[in-house]
Amino acid sequence: MTTRSDDTHHATGHATHDDDDDDDDDDVTTMRATMRARGAVTRLSHASRAIDATTVTTVTTTTMRDDTCGGWSLARRSVIGRGLASVDGVGGRSRVMTTRETKMRMMSAHARVLPAWATADPWGMSARAGGAAVGANLIRGSWRAASASGGDVEFVVDPMNAQETKEFFIAPTTSSVEDIREVVDSLKSCPKSGLHNPYKHPERYVKYGEVSALLAEAMRRPEVERYFATLIQRVAPKSYAQAAAEVIVTRKFLENFAGDNVRFLARGFSVSGDHLGQTSTGLRWPYGPVTVITPFNFPLEIPVLQLMGALYMGNKVLVKSDTKVSVVLEQFVRLLLECGAPPTDLDFIHCNGVTMHEILKQSQPKMTLFTGSQRVAHVLADELKGNVKLEDAGFDWKILGPDVGDVDYVAHVSDQDAYACSGQKCSAQSILFMHDNWVAAGFEEKIKALAAKRNLEDLTVGPVLTLTTETMLAHARKLAALPGARIAFGGKELNDGKHTIPSQYGAIEPTAIFVPLKTIMASEENFKLATTEIFGPLQVLTSYADDELPIVLEACEKMDAHLTAAVVSSDEMFVQKVLGSTVNGTTYAGRRARTTGAPQNHWFGPAGTPMAGGIGTIEAIRLVWSCHREIIFDKGPIDDDWETPPRA
C-alpha cells in the first residue's frame, strides 16, 4: 500500500490554461500557473502544512503490508522544506525530526510516497498490488484516458513477469482516423514562427526558466526522485543506481536552465553594416511545429532533455516515447504542467511506430528529433525531406593504449560501459581493442570477474527489451565460429533460463566474444558480423600489437556509426594519433576515458553527418531546436540630394 502526498489527486482530468494569445491575460496566467506550481511543489500532503520555527504539524504514520517486497514497510507523509523541521510518526507516536534525518529516512528501501500529480503507482502495476496503470494522452491541453476495459488500447507486459500481460500498463493506441487527425491538426496549429521568439512573447523565455526551477526543486525531493527511479525500474529494469542516476541527470539539466538561462539560449549577435543606419542581427529562431521520438532505454532522461530544449526555444512539441516505457514520460508531463507549463504548448501521446509514422507523414513537422535505430532514422530522413536530427545507432569502440596502468579502475569502467543497463545504451562499449600489454596484464580476466558479479536479483543485468534470447545467443555463436574466435565469458541464457522474463524479451549473461583483429579485417562479411550492434550485454574483444595500430584505425574508419568512443591512455602522442584519425561525436580520452557519460554534463551526440543531433547542452539545444535568422535593419538616413540612379 502506498501513501499519496495529496488527497486531492484525480486519476484523469482536463488541464486548462488561459489563452496565451491574449496579451492582457498573459501576465495573470503566468502568475496563476506559477503560484499553483509553487503550491504543488511545496505541498507534500493534504494533511501536512508548511511549518516554521514555532509551528509543527504532526502526521500519524502506520505500518502497511508490502506484498511486492515480501515484508513490512513504513509509509509516511512528511513535510520537507528548506530550513524546516519535518514530522514523522512511529507506532502512533509523533516526534519532530530534522530535515536531514527525514530525507535519509525517505530514501530508505521501503519509503513509498505517491506524488499528488501522479497517476501511476510503481509499487502497484500488478494483479496482486492494485492492478494496471492506465495511460492517457495530452492533446490540445486536456488529458484523454485509455479505457481499462479494452478496446483501442495496448496491454504492455511486465518485463520481469511473463504472467502479467494485462495488469501492468494499459496505454491508448491513438490509432483511429479521428485520433490521428486531432493530433495532426493540433501540431499544425502552431505557426512557423513558433509560440515565442525574440520578437513575439519573449516573456515566455522567462516563464520556462521559472518552470525549470520549479521542476528541479520538485525532483530534488527524495520521495520524487525515488518515485521516478522506481517507475523507471518497473518498465525498463536496471539497477537502482542506474535508474536514480537518470533522475539526477534530468534534475541537473533542469537546474542548468533555471532562471534566465532559457532566455540566454536565444542569444544572438550584431554586426555593423556597411553604411550609416545599417545593422545586421543574427537570431536563433524556432521551427514552430516539431516532434520528439525517443526509445525505451532512458524513459525519463532522453525525452525530457529533448522536450524541454524544444519548448525553451519556442516550439510546439509533439512527444512520443516507446510505449513499453511511456508511462514514465506521462508522469513527468503531469509534473511539468503542475509546475506551470502551458498545457497547450505540447501534445503527448502513446502509440506504436506505425501510427507515429502516419502522423509524421500527415503533419510534416518542421523538425523531428529521432533517437533510435539506424534503419528507422534513415526512413524518417527520406520521408520528412531531411527535416530531422538523429541520434541513431552507436557501435562504440574503446582502445586501450600501450601504457598499462590503473588496471582495476579501467576494468571497472569497461564493465560499466559494456554491461550497465544490460548493455542497452546507445553509448555502450561494443568493441574493445586491447593492446597486447593489457592482455599480458590479465585484463580479460579482470572484466570477466566483474561481469560474473552481475545478477538478476539487483538488476545489474536484466531483460533486453528489443531482442530475444535466441537472437543474441545466435549472434554470439556466429562470432565464436570465426577463425581464431572464442567465447571469453557468458554466452548463455541468464540464470540457466530460471527466470520469469517474457519470451519476447531477451535474457543472457554478460557476454564477450574474442575475435582476432586479422579475422575481423579479413573480409567484408567478417567485418559486418563483428561490428553489428547488439543492443544488449554483448561485446567483442580483440587485441593488437604496436605495429597494428593502423589496422585498428582502419577498422574505426570503416564503421558507419560514430556516436561515442574512448581512448584509454596517458601517452599524449598515442592519444593525438587516434583522435586525429577518428570522428566519433562524443569521444573520451585519458586514463579515465569511458564510452558512457552524463549528457547534462557535456555535449552528447554523433558526428560525421549533417543530420547529427545533440542533447543536454546550450549548443545542442540551439543546434537541434532552432535555426539561424538574420534581420538587417537599414534605417537611413537617406541623403537629401539623393536621386534615382539609372536602372542596373
CA distance 470 to 476: 10
User: Do 349 and 139 touch, CB atoms closer than 8 A?
Assistant: yes
The per-residue pLDDT for 409 is: 98
Q: What is the pLDDT of residue 130?
A: 85
User: If pLDDT is split at 50, 70 and 90, which confidence band does 377 have?
Assistant: confident
* Stretch among 16-25, 336-345, 575-584 having the lowest mean pLDDT: 16-25
Bridge-partner residues for 567, per DSSP? 399, 589
Could you give the angle at which helices 549-558 and 572-580 cross, rounded to 10 degrees? 30
Annotated catalytic residue, options 154, 164, 210, 391: 391
Report the pLDDT value the prediction gives residue 2, as an integer from 0 to 100: 64
Q: In this structure, what are the phi and psi dihedrals at residue 476, rounded to the nearest 5 degrees?
A: -60, -40
What is the model's pLDDT at position 613? 94
Q: Bigger pLDDT: 14 or 629?
A: 629
Give the DSSP letter string of 122-165. TT--BTTTTB-EE-EEEETTEEEEPPTT-SSEEEEPPTT-TT-S
**Rounded Cα distance, 246 and 403, in Å:** 33
What is the distance, to the nearest Å, from the Cα of residue 437 to the centroid of all Cα atoms in its chain?
A: 37
- C-alpha closest to that of 354 among 390, 304, 320: 320
**β-strand 316-321 against 289-294: which pairing, if any?**
parallel
Task: Report pLDDT digits (tens) over 532-553.
Answer: 999 999 999 999 999 999 999 9
Residue linked to cell 527525514: 102
Q: How many CA atoms lie within 13 A of 387 on its CB side?
A: 19
Give pLDDT, residue 373. 81
Domains and CATH numbers, the chain: 1-115 (no CATH), 396-589 (3.40.309.10)
- 426 is annotated as an active-site residue: yes
pLDDT tens column, 336-345: 999 999 999 9
Residue type, 499: H
Cα–Cα distance list, 500 to 67, 128, 251, 506, 507 (Å): 18, 16, 33, 11, 10
Residue 248's pLDDT is: 96
Mean pLDDT of 324-344: 98
pLDDT band at 149 (very low <50, low <70, confident <90, very high): low
Task: Give Cβ neighbours of residue 394 (< 8 Å, ≥ 6 apart).
Answer: 426, 427, 428, 430, 533, 561, 563, 564, 606
The active-site residue out of 351, 421, 426, 556 is 426
Please report, as a single letter, which amino acid is at residue 621: I
3-state secondary structure of 237: coil
Q: What CA–CA distance (Å, rounded) separates 39 from 51? A: 14
Does the predicted model carry a pTM greater than 0.75?
A: yes
444, 541 Cβ separation under 8 angstroms = yes
**Is 548 in the active site?**
no
> 172 in helix, strand or coil?
strand
C-alpha triplet 254, 627, 629: angle, nearest 5°: 125
Give percent of the chain with pLDDT exceeding 70: 82
Per-residue pLDDT tens digits for 418-451: 999 999 999 999 999 999 999 999 999 999 999 9
pLDDT-derived band of residue 600, with 50, 70 and 90 as boundaries?
A: confident
Average pLDDT over residues 31-58: 38
Taking a C-beta distance cutoff of 8 angstroms, is the pair 302, 213 a contact? no
Q: Which residue from 434, 438, 429, 402 is spatially nearest to 566, judged by alpha carbons?
A: 429
State how beta strands 367-371 and 388-391 pair.
Answer: parallel
Q: What is the dihedral of CA 423, 425, 430, 432, to 10 degrees?
A: -90
For residue 3, pLDDT over 70 is answered with no
* Residue 75, beta-bridge partner list: 62
pLDDT value at position 151?
63
Q: Mean pLDDT for the chain?
A: 86
